[in-house]
Amino acid sequence: MPPRKIIIDTDPGQDDAVAILLALASPGEIEVLGLTAVAGNVPLELTARNARMVCELADHAHIPVFAGCDRPLGRALVTAEHVHGKTGLDGPDLPEPSMALQDAHAVEFLIETLRREPSGSVTLCPLGPLTNIATAFRQAPDIIPRVAEIVLMGGAYFEVGNITPAAEFNIYVDPEAADTVFRAGAPLTVMPLDVTHKALVTGPRNEAFRALGTPVGNAVAQMTDFFERFDKEKYGSQGAPLHDPCVTAYLIRPELFSGRHVNVEIETTSELTLGMTVADWWGVTDRAPNATFMGDLDAQGFFDLLTERLARL
C-alpha cells in the first residue's frame, strides 16, 4: 500500500509536536503534504512558528507550513498557556525556525489540495480547534466528499471535560467549527480524552525517549517533562498524556485502538456544557452514527511504536 497522504492541522503544543514527529518518522505509512497552523493552545503567530520549529527539529524543513485562522469562527480565542507554557512549546531550548511560512492561507491550501489530489486520497488530521477545517468546508463544500477520512483529537465522554467540567479544549475553543465538521458527512475517527488519558508518559517511558540520545529524543523528553507537571497536579496521573500522537499512531497501527461507531453531536448553545461532545455510546437514540469514537488503546504498544519511530529521526 502506498503511504497515506495527510494534512496535519495543528496548534503546537508539545503533544502536537510529538504527533508531527511521529508522522514525519513514518514515511512508509504516511506522506505529510503540509502542516496548517491554527490558533489554539497559543495564538496563531506562535503555533505557526512552533510548527516550523518541529519540522526543523526533524530535519524536514521542506514540509510546507501554512498559517490559518487566528480566531474561532464566532468567539474570542481561549488559549492554554497554563498547560503548554508561554510559547506553547516550553521545555526544550529549540532554535527559532529559519524556514519560511508559505504565502497562501491554510484554508486556501486545504481547498486547493483536496481539489487537486484524487478524490478519497487525502486524510485530514486535526490536532487543535477545528476552525481551519470548518472554514474550508464552509467556503468549498465540494471538497467534503473528496476527503478520505478525518482523524482528529478532540472531545470526551466518560472522561468528561478538561477545560470545563463538560468540554475538552479543542472542541470548546471553537464549538461552531466542531459542529460543522461533525455534521459534514466525511468519515470521522475521534480520539477523545477517554483514549488520550491512557497514553501517559510514565517515568520509564520518558527515559526511553531520552535514552535515544538524539536531538529529537532529548527534545521530546524535555517537552514531556514540562507538560507533565500540569496533569500530574490536576489528575494525580503518572505523567503527561500524549493526546495528539494518538491521531498519527492510529494511521500507522489502527489495531492499537478500539471504539464504537456512534452518533456524536456538539453542544453549541448551553453556557454550562458548551463544547461537550454528546456521544451516543449506548445507542439510546435513533440518531445516525457519524463518527468512530475511540474508547481504549494498547498503551504499551503505542509507546513501543512511538519510541521505535522517534529513533529514526
C-alpha cell at 113: 489540495
Give the Å distances, CA to CA, from 270 to 40, 71, 158, 168, 197: 21, 21, 19, 15, 26
Name which of 13 and 245 has its Cβ closer to Ca ion: 13
Q: Are 12 and 49 in contact (CB under 8 A)?
A: no
CA gap 178, 132 in Å, rounded:
10
| Cβ distance to ligand BDR smaller for residue 64 or 161 | 161
Asked whether position 190 contacts ligand BDR by CB under 6 A, the answer is no
Contact of residue 162 among Ca ion, ligand BDR, none (CB under 5-8 Å per partner type): ligand BDR
By CB under 6 A, residue 149 contacts ligand BDR: no
- For the bound state, the minimum distance from the C-beta of residue 220 to ligand BDR, rounded and expressed in Å, comes to 14
From the list 9, 15, 228, 265, which residue makes contact with ligand BDR (rule: CB under 6 A)? 15
Binding mask 41-70 for ligand BDR (x = CB under 6 A): x-----------------------------
Instruction: From the list Ca ion, ligand BDR, none, pick the one residue 169 interacts with, judged by a Cβ distance below 5 to 8 Å according to partner type.
Output: ligand BDR
Using the rule CB under 6 A, is 230 a contact of ligand BDR?
Answer: no
- Closest Cα to residue 185, out of 286, 291, 114? 291
Shortest Cβ distance from residue 244 to ligand BDR (Å)?
Answer: 5
Q: In this structure, what DSSP letter does residue 86 have?
A: S
In Å, how far are 20, 63, 137, 150, 237 from 36, measured between CA atoms? Answer: 11, 11, 15, 14, 31
What CA–CA distance (Å, rounded) separates 240 from 160?
Answer: 18
Q: Specify whether 105 is catalytic.
A: no
Spatial separation of the C-alpha atoms in residues 45 and 254, rounded to whole Å: 33
- Which of 128, 175, 241, 259 binds Ca ion (CB under 5 A)? It is 128
Nine-digit cell string for 6: 495527510
Which residue in 137, 169, 182, 230 binds ligand BDR (CB under 6 A)? 169
CA distance 22 to 209: 12
**C-beta of residue 6 within 8 angstroms of C-beta of residue 24:** no
User: Where on the chain is the footprint of Ca ion (CB under 5 A)?
Assistant: 11, 13, 16, 127-128, 244
Catalytically active residues are: 243
User: Where on the chain is the footprint of ligand BDR (CB under 6 A)?
Assistant: 13, 15-16, 41, 80, 83, 127-128, 153, 162, 168-170, 243-244
